[in-house]
């Protein structure tokens, strides 16, 4: 995605004056900017990971998901493969939190965790289509910056309409207002791709492993190690699906 330069600013625990000031400077420099708070971060086992106040603001389902997500990074982290690592942790956090509550007889909480994962997969498929549309629009205007920007704006205008009319009615755990307010620019889209690449593929492996999460995690790690430079390719080949 190349019509505009981009910058993602992730500040922990919550953005205040400094990141907002930095964002303004970047906007003034014609950069797409995405500023957001960070619920948590992993030190990959080097230190005890902090529990941030942003994490504690969520409900028990969000908390369980976040903790399991970060523990996944401590268990396995593929060098130089950030989208794989974050998408893998999204899968384990979602399926793991559902299993956690189900093992304690809290079926309502487990069902809500499952519903949240369905929302994540729905949005992941949607953002993948948006990225594809944006890339196609840019390729149509390889040397005309103005035309590329106009094409980008058209894609995002259609994206907003689709979010409101098609995606929002299907969301089970996310307020439909999300569709009206979620930020749409290249930096935000790149950030979403990091956490939402091939989520359905992880679930296909989960199904092939008999919905046994421990076996699935082991399988995914083994596949990722078999092709460290292209872990998603290894996963897709194992389940027999083509890539984007």
Q: What is the pLDDT of residues 126-168, one digit of tens each?
A: 999 999 999 999 999 888 888 988 999 999 999 999 999 999 9
Q: Report which of residues 20 and 113 the model is more confident about.
A: 113
Q: Average pLDDT in the 9-19 region? A: 51
pLDDT above 80: residue 11: no
Residue 25 CB coordination number (10 Å): 11
Tell me the pLDDT tens digit for each residue of 176-204. Answer: 999 999 999 998 998 899 999 999 999 99
Contact call for residues 84 and 192 (beta carbons, < 8 A): no
- What is the percentage of the chain residues whose pLDDT exceeds 90? 66
What number of CA atoms fall less than 13 Å from residue 56's CA on the CB side? 5
Q: Report the distance separating Cα 100 and Cα 241, nearest Å.
A: 30
Per-residue tokens: 163: 């979010």
Residue-level pLDDT at 220: 99
Residue 44 CB coordination number (10 Å): 14
Residue-level pLDDT at 44: 57
């Amino acid at each position: 995605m190349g019509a505009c330069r981009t910058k993602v600013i992730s500040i922990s625990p919550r953005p205040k004056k400094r990141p907002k000031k930095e964002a303004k400077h970047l906007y003034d420099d014609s950069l797409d900017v995405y500023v957001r708070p960070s619920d948590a971060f992993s030190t990959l086992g080097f230190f005890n990971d902090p529990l941030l106040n942003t994490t504690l603001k969520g409900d028990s389902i969000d908390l369980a998901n976040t903790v399991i997500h970060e523990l996944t990074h401590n268990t396995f982290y593929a060098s130089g493969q950030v989208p794989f690592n974050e998408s893998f942790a999204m899968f384990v956090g979602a399926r793991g939190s559902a299993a956690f509550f189900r093992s304690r007889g809290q079926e309502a909480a487990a069902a809500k965790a499952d519903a949240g994962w369905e929302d994540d997969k729905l949005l992941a498929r949607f953002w993948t289509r948006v990225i594809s549309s944006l890339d196609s629009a840019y390729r149509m205007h390889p040397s005309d910056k103005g035309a590329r920007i106009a094409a980008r704006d058209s894609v995002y205008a259609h994206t907003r309409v689709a979010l409101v009319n098609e995606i929002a009615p299907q969301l089970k755990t996310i307020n439909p207002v999300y569709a009206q307010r979620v930020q749409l620019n290249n930096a935000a889209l790149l950030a979403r791709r990091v956490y939402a690449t091939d989520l359905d593929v992880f679930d296909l492996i989960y199904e092939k492993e008999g919905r046994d999460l421990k076996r699935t995690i082991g399988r995914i790690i083994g596949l990722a190690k078999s092709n460290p430079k292209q872990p998603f390719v290894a996963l897709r080949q194992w389940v027999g699906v083509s890539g984007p």
